[in-house]
Every structure is written in C-alpha cells, then in structure tokens.
Structure 1
Amino acid sequence: MAAATLRSVLRRNRLLPLFETCHLRDRLFFSSSVDAAAVTVGGTMSPDPHFMVEYLVNSWGFSPSEAAKVSKPLAHLRATKKPDAVLNFMRSQGFDGAGIRKVISAYPRYLCYNVEKNLAPKFQFLRDLDLSESDIVDAIMNNHAILRLNVHRSIVPKLEMWESLLGSRELVLKHLKKPGWFFYSSVEKTLHPNLKFLRDECGIPEERLSLALRSRPQLISRKPESLRALVARAEELGTPRLSRMFVWTLGVLQMVSKEKFEAKAELMRSFGWSESEFSSAFSSAVRKAPTFLRMSLDMMRRKMEFFINIVGYTPSFIAFQPTILLYGLQKRVIPRFRVLEMLNTKGLWTRRGKFLCYVKLSNTKFREKIVLPYKEKVPELLDILRAGECEGK
C-alpha cells in the first residue's frame, strides 16, 4: 500500500505541467518577499575571486567570518545568477534568513545548484507527500541532504524501506522533521547490512526491532562497524543478545560514547556504587529513563552529593531509584526540599523518608497537596518555590 502510494506520487512528480514550471520561474525572480538587495538581473558579475564573501554578507546576512568559511567551496563562482536564484527560491518556499544560512552553511555548494533541475523537484516531491510548507522547512533544516539525493534512485527507496520498518508513512515523516540524520544512510551499504546483522546474527525478532526503531531509527543508520562495536559494548555490560532488553540497551548506549559511559560509571563507584548496583541502575534507565546517561558528569555529581549529604539517601537507595537523578536540581528538587524542611521545623511535616514521592509530583499537585493547605500558617512557602524557579533560569 505504501509503495503504491509512493509510485502515485512519483507519477505526479514526473509530469509537472508546463504552467507550474513557468509559475515557479516567475516566483523565483519576481517574488516580492525577497530582499531587493539580493536580486539582480542576470546576476552580478565580478572578476574578483573574493567577491563571494562580500556578496554573502550583503545579500545573505552572513557575518564576515561565516561568509569567509562558506565561500571557500565557491571560489570558482564569478557570477551571482545561480546563488540569487537559490536564495529567491528558498525564500519563496518559506525559509527565513536564519534557516537559509543554516542550510547553506552545512553545504555551500547548494548555491551552485540549478533551481529547476536540482531543487524544485525535491520540494515538489515533499509537497506530494502531503507535507505542509512548514513541515518541508523543518525536514530540510534537519535533513538537508535530501536536497542532494535523487528522487527516484535514492529518496523513494529510503522512504519505502523506512515505511516498511516503522509501519507507517506518518512515523517516517515525523522523524524526517527531527534532527537525527537517519535519512542520510545508504540502503545498500548501511541499512540492509545492519538489519541483516541484528536479525540474523543477534537474533532480534523483526517485531521487536521495528518497535525499537520507531523511537530510535538512528540505530541502524550507523556505519556497520560502529553498530557491531555497540553490540560488543552491550554484551560487555552483561546483556545477552537474546534478551528482550538487548535492542533497548543498544538504543541507550548509542546516546553516549564509551569514554563518557566509563567516566560516569567511575563517578558512581566513587560514591560507593558496586558493579551490581551500577548494572541495576543502568537496566532501570534502559527501561524507564534513557536520558539518565546523557546527564553531564558535573550535574550527576551535584545531584548525588545533594541526595546523599543533604537529603540523607544512601547510594544504594539511589541506585535502586535512578530516575530521581533526572529531576531538575535548582528548579525542582532543592525548592521542594526547602519547603518540606520549613514545614518540618514547624512540626507540620515529619515524613522525611517520603521525599522521593514529593519530588515526583507535578508542580500543580505539589502546590495543592503541600503548599496551599499551609499557606495561612506558612505564607513564605510560595516564596521559596518562586525563588527556586528564578534561580533555575
């Protein structure tokens, strides 16, 4: 069904009416939304090999240092006709100046592209997939290499494969609008070998793999040798390939390098975590809080010190409840602790061991259950919360 839909899109894409092409040309060179300074009849000509720097500053809004960097691959250009057309076209497609500069900085040679042959067909194809103008801008901003891919030879095979893996076009397009580079990888050189490795050698059932890829498609976009190294890391942590958690472990490990992972493990050992406690915390993070491992070393240290030295939790307790380390220290944990300590000094709250329960409450629930019932007796509670919110900004 998905492949048939793609083929219908292609048929429409191949047969763009002549009047659309003419209309597009009119939009390129006569759009009122384009800065007049960027539009020249026939393009500016210059014998100066460095004139592109000045052009990028004046017409595109680059800083001089950015323009110097972007202009290096464009040293052969002696006219602005093509860059003018690219600028006008991207403005007509909904890109603002900052968005255009981001795309061009990533690949300056887009300024050498022929709009009608190289760029317009990609945008038309994305529109035929029912993406809105803002959706297309997001997709290009986050996966600009789409502009370098051939619609029929590259984009379509990738879409067909990802649709079959993720189960729907909607999920593919959702990921396409996010940063992640998952759409760059070669089907033949990367995606197929990685899938074969995970299914045939690692024994991961296709349904389980598909489920994991819906949230982390980048897993099979890695270079094959990088994926094998990731599998080796998972096995070193004691996660067997046949475990139901194996593919989720891979998804978590890909977010943090081996060096950073080891540094965090060493930090937790310094607080008294045993190897088994670290493994237990890691397993819990895989299931409940994968962002646990993306926390900076400094923040992880500060949170551990607060919960151990101030709250009074043992390292073993934190290892059993690692999700507590995900909550914001300055804006959530510390203000709530101060509120509860204030109530404790006045004899209104004595359940210190239940602090974790109160950290997990939403802001609204915390105010309703803890702050508002005592606002008459302890009016400064709200001030404590507000001070914490200000400190965290």
Structure 2
Amino acid sequence: MYSLIQKLVSFSSYSKPFSSATTLTHKVSNFTVSYLIESLGFTTKLAESISKKVSFEEKVNPDSVLTLLRSYGFTESQISNIITDYPKLLTLDAETSLAPKLKFLHSMKGASTSEFTEIVSTVPKLLGKRGDKTLSVYYDFVRDVVQAPENCRVLLLSRSSFPQGNLENKIRNVTALRELGVPQRLLFRLLVSSYQPVCGKERFRESLEKVVEKGFDPTSSKFVQALHVVYQLSERTVEEKVDVYRRLGFSVEDVWDMFKKWPNALKFSGKKVTQTFETLKKCGLIEEEAVALLKKNPQFLRVSEENIANSIETFLGLGFSRGEFAMMIKRYPVCIGFSGETVRKKTEFLVEEMDWSLDDVVSHPQVFSYSMEKRMVPRCGVIKALISKGLLGSELPSVCSVLACTDKMFLRRYVRKHDDDKELVAELMAYLHQRA
C-alpha cells in the first residue's frame, strides 16, 4: 500500500507542470471564445473553431484591429467574414503591421470605400502579403476578378505589370483556371495559398491537362483537389500506385473511378492501401467485398489501422459477432469511423433502454450517425409514451421506422394520427422538443 501511495504522490508531482500548462491553454482558449462571441457576435461553435487556429489572452490588440477596420468603413458583416476567413489578423499589430497596408491600398488605388472594403473582405489573406508591389498585384487581380462581368470567361490582365517569379506564375495559372470556370471562392484560396500547383509553369500545364482529361468538373472543389494530387505525383509514381491496387484485385478503371470520387485515393502509399485492405479482410470481409467497399467508399483509406482495430474491439465488446460487424461495414462503412464512446452510448440506449435487439442495430447501422440529442432521445420518448398508453400494439416498431424517416414522416406516423386527442398530441410534441 505504501509503495502505491508513493507512486501516486510521485506521479502527482511530475504532472503539476503539465496540469498548469493545460490550465493556462484552456484559459486562453476560453478568453478567445468569449471575446469572439461578445465582440463579433459569433456562435459558440464558430468561436471554438476559430480559437483552435488563433488565441489571445488580452483584448487590447484585437480591439485595435477591429477599431482600425471600422475606421476604414468595413461593415460588421464584412469584418465578421474577414475574421472568419483570416483570424490571424486579430494578432497582428494594428499600428505597425496592418494600418500601413490598408493606407497604401486605399490611397494608391483610388477606389471608393465600398469597392475597397469589398475587395479586401473578399480575400482578407492578401493583407498577410509583404511588400507594396506584391500587395498591389494581388489587390489588382482580386479587383479585376470581382468586378468582371459574370459572363466574362477571359480575364484580360496586363502582363507587363507582373513581377517576375512565382507571383507571375501564380496569377497566370489562376487566370487559366478562371477561364475554365473554376469559381471565385476556389480561385482566391489558390491565389493566397503557398501550395505548389499554381506556382509552377510547365508542371502546372501538364497537371491541368491530365485533370481536364479525367473529366473533373471545373466548378467543383474536387477539380482543385485533383490538381493538387496530380501535381505532386510523377508518372512513375502514379503507375506504381495503380499497380498496387491491381495486385489487390482492382481494375485500372476501378482506380480512376475511385480517383474521381475522392482524388486523395492516389495519395496514400502502397503500404497503407495494402494494410487497410488486409485489415478489412480480418474484419470478416472476403476479398471481393473489400474491393467493393473501397470502390464505393475510397475515403475509407484515411481510417488508421489502429482505429479500425479499436472499432472491432468496441463492437465485439458490446456483443456483436465478427460476422455482424462485417455486415454493418458492408451496409454502412462509415460506422467504423465512429468513436468507441459514441458506439457504446448509442448501442446501450437502443438495446437496454429501448429494448431493440442487436440484430435490429445490425440491420440499420446508420443509427450510429443519428444525433442522440436531436433525434434518438426525442423520438424514442414519443414511442415510450405511446407504448405506456397501449397505443402501439404489442410489438415495438422497427428501428428504421422510428429513426430513419424524416421529421415530417415521423409526425404523421406517430403523432398526427392522434390529432383528435389534443392533450396527448401536446404531450408527444413536448418529447420532440426535449433535449438529451
């Protein structure tokens, strides 16, 4: 006993610095979230998301940034968009870093306040660029794209004004993408990013031709994603990756179909693809079933072997057999990506509280994607109430009948049929408005 106490004391003493650091980080994060909610009216969810990218523990600097933006005529809506897209702006020094850039752009370009604020709020990351000449070229490009008629497919820019090097390549390449129909929201991300695909010259042209040849829609984000992947891979590397898939039972057409569904399917190493394939077989799938699963859901490749193993352990621990686990993967592959806590909590609720069987869950594994708070608990509350009043007969409705239908269908099926009893309907509606 004494030895155990010694270990606990020793562990406690070593964990204090870590605990203090964790507490400080949590405190800073909480301050950031509170500031974003109070100063910009952000939702808690958005504020928490932004706090993962940038954080601060005092409001002096972010207050100065917001005051500066307002002084230049940015509306509250534009400021919200700017901070959402480029939260790092709140950490810049308003006087020495941000003010000179805003002053330069506003005074040198001779634009109206509304035009100026529209351009900057459309691509706020241009304020992160250094050097007046570079900043000017980025600004001009964004202005020309924003102001060009929607039906204008060709952007006429003065090549003589471009500085030499990567920026010239980047603007030329982004212009080419615009001519193909790539939407502004994707163009501007490429313009201000440091990703290679739009910085090259010959390599960019070759990659673009391959992506167009594969039939990707230029208006979709997959087009840009595919461009990234193709740009990064040599012909030899692509051939080697395709060969890995072929050895596992895929045809060349299968591989390119997977690439069109999810371009990142070609980014994984042959070792990772093979490991995932073998792990699926260990889960109980035969070779043809594993091929079919990955053909339909290539995104499955990003799930680690460790997560798959943990998922198997969780399901088996809850009483599912390996055969049932394999069946659920075939019916709803993404269920393997849910956390053990989610799977356990929902299974116990459905089986122990609602008295559905494990077979019912196996037949409809989509239940693991349903919200406990917004769907499962409220709807099941209605079912329990109806059962207690003897209004559902002797058999419990199927999981699918209760949880898979739309809200409108559920109301019609289990609530509106009792419209003649206003008190009962009010009671049932109260269940639907409750939260877990």
TM-score normalized by the length of structure 1:
0.64
Q: Which residue of 2 aligns with 1:131?
A: 182
Q: Are the counterparts in 2 of residues 335 and 385 from structure 1 also a CA contact under 8 Å?
A: yes
Moved more, 370-379 or 155-164: 155-164
User: Per-residue displacement from partner, 1:242-296 (whole Å, max 9, x unpaired)?
Assistant: 55526338725313111111111111111112222222222222xxxx3222222
Q: 2:217 aligns with which of 143, 153, 170?
A: 170
Q: Which residue of 1 aligns with 2:416?
A: 372
Instruction: Note if 1:156 corresponds to 2:196.
Output: no
Q: Which residue of 1 aligns with 2:345?
A: 302
Q: Are the counterparts in 2 of residues 307 and 313 from structure 1 also a CA contact under 8 Å?
A: yes
Q: Which residue of 1 aligns with 2:377?
A: 334
Which amino acid is 1:226 matched to? K
Q: What is the distance in 1 between the residues matched to 2:368 and 2:344?
A: 10
Q: What is the distance in 1 between the residues matched to 2:349 and 2:270?
A: 42
User: What stretches of structure 1 of length at least 5 have no aligned partner?
Assistant: 1-34, 37-51, 62-73, 96-111
Shift in CA distance, 211/173, structure 1 to aligned 2, threshold 3 Å: same
Q: Which residue of 1 aligns with 2:317?
A: 270
Q: Are the counterparts in 1 of residues 360 and 399 from structure 2 also a CA contact under 8 Å?
A: no
Q: CA deviation at 1:164?
A: 4.3
Instruction: Note if 1:145 corresponds to 2:195.
Output: yes
Q: What is the distance in 2 between the residues matched to 1:60 and 1:295?
A: 46
Q: Which residue of 2 aligns with 1:11?
A: none
Q: Which residue of 2 aligns with 1:207?
A: 253
Cα-Cα RMSD: 3.7
Shift in CA distance, 283/80, structure 1 to aligned 2, threshold 3 Å: same
Identity %: 15
User: What stretches of structure 2 of length at least 5 have no aligned partner?
Assistant: 1-71, 74-91, 103-127, 147-162
Q: CA deviation at 1:113?
A: 8.5
Q: Which residue of 2 aligns with 1:222?
A: 268
Q: Which residue of 2 aligns with 1:261?
A: 308
Q: What is the distance in 1 between the residues matched to 2:229 and 2:330?
A: 26
Q: What is the distance in 2 between the residues matched to 1:60 and 1:308?
A: 61
Q: CA deviation at 1:175?
A: 0.5
1:1-393 equivalences under 5 Å are 56=97, 58=99, 80-85=131-136, 88-89=139-140, 91-92=142-143, 117-137=168-188, 145-146=195-196, 148-151=198-201, 153-165=202-214, 168-170=215-217, 173-176=220-223, 182=229, 185-188=232-235, 190-199=237-246, 201-241=247-287, 244-245=291-292, 247-248=294-295, 251=298, 253-285=300-332, 290-350=333-393, 351-377=395-421, 378-380=424-426, 381-388=428-435
User: Per-residue displacement from partner, 1:25-77 (whole Å, max 9, x unpaired)?
Assistant: xxxxxxxxxx79xxxxxxxxxxxxxxx9775555689xxxxxxxxxxxx9xx9
The higher-RCO structure (CA 8 Å, 6+ apart) is 1
Q: What is the distance in 2 between the residues matched to 1:135 and 1:191?
A: 25
Q: Are the counterparts in 1 of residues 241 and 266 from structure 2 also a CA contact under 8 Å?
A: yes
Which amino acid is 1:80 matched to? G
Q: What is the distance in 1 between the residues matched to 2:303 and 2:346?
A: 19
Q: What is the distance in 2 between the residues matched to 1:337 and 1:180?
A: 47
Which amino acid is 1:196 matched to? D
User: Per-residue displacement from partner, 1:195-221 (whole Å, max 9, x unpaired)?
Assistant: 23223x233123333333332221112
Q: CA deviation at 1:338?
A: 0.6
- Count of paired positions: 301
Q: What is the distance in 2 between the residues matched to 1:279 and 1:59?
A: 61
Q: What is the distance in 2 between the residues matched to 1:147 and 1:210?
A: 20
